[in-house]
Amino acid sequence: MPTAPPAGPNYGRNYLPFAYPALLITAAVIIFPWMFTLFMSVHEWKIGSAREFVGFANYIKLATDPRFLESIGNTLYFTALAVVLPIILGTAAALIFNERFPLRGFCRAIFILPMMATPVAIALVWKMMFHPQLGVLNFILSLVGLPPTLWHTSAETVIPTLVMVEVWHWTPLVMLIVLGGLAAAPTEPYESAKIDGATWLQMFRYITLPLIMPFVVLATVIRTIDALKAFDTIFVISEGGPGTASETINIYLYLQAFSFYNIGYASAVVVVFFVLIIVLAMVLLWLRQKSKWT
């Protein structure tokens, strides 16, 4: 018989089964494997040989593994640059795209192309452009009178070089998020500020920035998570090299698992990496709460 129309505080619960299949698949593909990771991380386990229970030995080894410690440093260095630069550039781009100008839609489409492009394909093109002898980038530098750079082939420049590609890829995502915030901003404060004779810079500092801050913070959280787990670009362009100069945690754990086949050890890296990501995400969210940017 016809039921009453949706009512009551718990009526929504009836809709939960709609989400079960998706939840089940996600649990099966992600959450269940994590438990298996915990199990593997307390074993000495090489692909092709028998596993042996070693307790926390993998974790203790990690704490003194200079290569792993270096990879943490590399990851933080890469992440700091790959968060700050896209946030600044993306916010600036959002301010530009918030204005009305001819061909805006087309320019915006071009601008977001990098974030949709296949990262591996683009990384290959960058790699050819970075070539120290034949690459087009050193040629461009020579045109403006700058000395050539070694790009990804030198330990000093490899991380900034990789960051450059990362910035190219993901500045559009920051732009889109901040643009969403700008689109929702009210116009009245600007009108009264103009009447009061405020300069553009003052309006940006005291009206625009507070309005878009929640979106900038959201973009920062997303960028931080993405930069921490960056893989494709680094793997294709430098493979963690030269030497271990650009070996991030993600690259190190890939090498441990699929080049050296130390599955148990790699699993311990995963657990530590995971804790690092969660902690950083929590800190960012806590900062967001604390600043009352909701």
Partner 1 sequence: MSAVASGSSGLGPGLGWHLKRLAGKLGFAFAVFVIVSPAILVMLWMLSLSLKNEVDNMAFPPVVIPSPPTFANFEAVFENANLMRYLVNSLLVTGGATLVAILVGVPAGYGIAKASAHKIAICILIARITPALSYLIPLYMMFQMVGLTGSLWPIFITHLVITIPIFVYVMIGFFESLPPDLEEAALIDGCSLWQAFRHVAMPLARPGIVVAMILSIIFSWNNFVFGAVLGGRQTRTLPAAVYNMLTFEQVAWGPLAAAALLVTAPVLILTLFIQKEIVGGLTAGGVKGG
Q: In the window 63-82, what residues touch partner 1 (CB under 8 A)? A: none
Q: In this structure, how many other beta carbons lie within 10 angstroms of the beta carbon of residue 64?
A: 8
Binding status of residue 61 toward partner 1 by CB under 8 A: no
Site stretch for partner 1 (CB under 8 A), options 53-61, 63-71, 87-95, 284-292: 87-95
Q: What is the DSSP letter of 44?
A: E
Binding status of residue 291 toward partner 1 by CB under 8 A: no
Instruction: Select the residue interacting with partner 1 from 57, 229, 244, 293 (CB under 8 A).
Output: 229
Q: How far is CA 28 from CA 24, 51, 119, 168, 176, in A?
A: 6, 24, 27, 34, 32
Instruction: Select the residue interacting with partner 1 from 83, 177, 216, 284 (CB under 8 A).
Output: 177
Binding status of residue 12 toward partner 1 by CB under 8 A: yes
Site stretch for partner 1 (CB under 8 A), options 56-64, 150-158, 232-240, 285-293: 232-240
Binding status of residue 187 toward partner 1 by CB under 8 A: no
Site stretch for partner 1 (CB under 8 A), options 52-60, 61-69, 151-159, 174-182: 174-182
SS3 for 150?
Answer: coil
**Cα–Cα distance, 126 to 146 (Å, whole number):** 19
How many residues bind partner 1 (CB under 8 A)? The answer is 95
Q: For residue 167, how far is the Cα from the chain centroid?
A: 10
Binding status of residue 241 toward partner 1 by CB under 8 A: no
Task: Write out the DSSP string of 171-240.
Answer: HHHHHHHHHHHHHTS-SHHHHHHHHTT--HHHHIIIIIHHHHHHHHHHHHHHHHHHHHT--HHHHHHTTT
Binding status of residue 163 toward partner 1 by CB under 8 A: no
